[in-house]
Amino acid sequence: METCYEILGVSRDATPDEIRAAYRRLAKQYHPDINQDPDANERFIAIQQAYETLIDPEARARYDIALQGGAGPAPHDPFRYRAAGGSGFSWSWQMPESGAGRTGLIARLFFWAVLVVLMLVLSLLFRVVAGCLRRQVSR
């Protein structure tokens, strides 16, 4: 797996200006609107993620620590990418390992949607009953 430094073609002690210059050069070269190569889009995404990691001092410090430990980026790192069988680059986002994941999120959204609909129905029912009571009292 290439490191962010290798993707941008900069050394580990590169300054933010050098990182920006490398990013701009590579972004112009691999931008999907300019480069018609099918792998250009994935390469462009990898370049963007490497830039976002290295330009932020805190993210860069965490990334450098991970590289020194030999662990690479953390499993929950959204900037994680992998080489795709030698045919180019691929970037895959991994959902953080918390709770029930995607299924739990869908279940929670469904629960809240049902709750909102139930509240709307009860509010409408209350208004209808209150309107009927007002008519009976005014007669």
Answer yes or no: do 13 and 74 share one domain: yes
Helix pair angle (57-68, 40-55), 10° resolution = 100
Answer yes or no: do 36 and 67 share one domain: yes
Answer yes or no: do 41 and 22 share one domain: yes
Answer yes or no: do 10 and 54 share one domain: yes
pLDDT digits (tens, 9 = 90+) for 56-69: 999 999 999 988 88
Answer yes or no: do 118 and 53 share one domain: no
Total of domains in the chain? 2
Answer yes or no: do 73 and 43 share one domain: yes
Answer yes or no: do 21 and 85 share one domain: yes
pLDDT of residue 71: 53
Answer yes or no: do 30 and 83 share one domain: yes
CATH of the domain at 78: 1.10.287.110
Answer yes or no: do 54 and 108 share one domain: no
Q: Which are the contacts of 42, defined by CB distance < 8 A and separation ≥ 6?
A: 84, 88, 89, 90, 91
pLDDT of residue 84: 40
Structural domain boundaries, residue 136: 99-139
On whether the CB atoms of residues 80 and 92 are closer than 8 A, the answer is yes
Displacement of CA 46 from its chain's centroid (Å): 13
Q: For the chain, list residues with pLDDT below 50.
A: 72, 75-76, 81-89
Distances from the Cα of 122 to the Cαs of 21, 119, 127, in angstroms? 60, 5, 9
Answer yes or no: do 15 and 74 share one domain: yes
Answer yes or no: do 108 and 65 share one domain: no
pLDDT of residue 86: 45
Answer yes or no: do 37 and 72 share one domain: yes
pLDDT of residue 22: 95
pLDDT of residue 70: 56
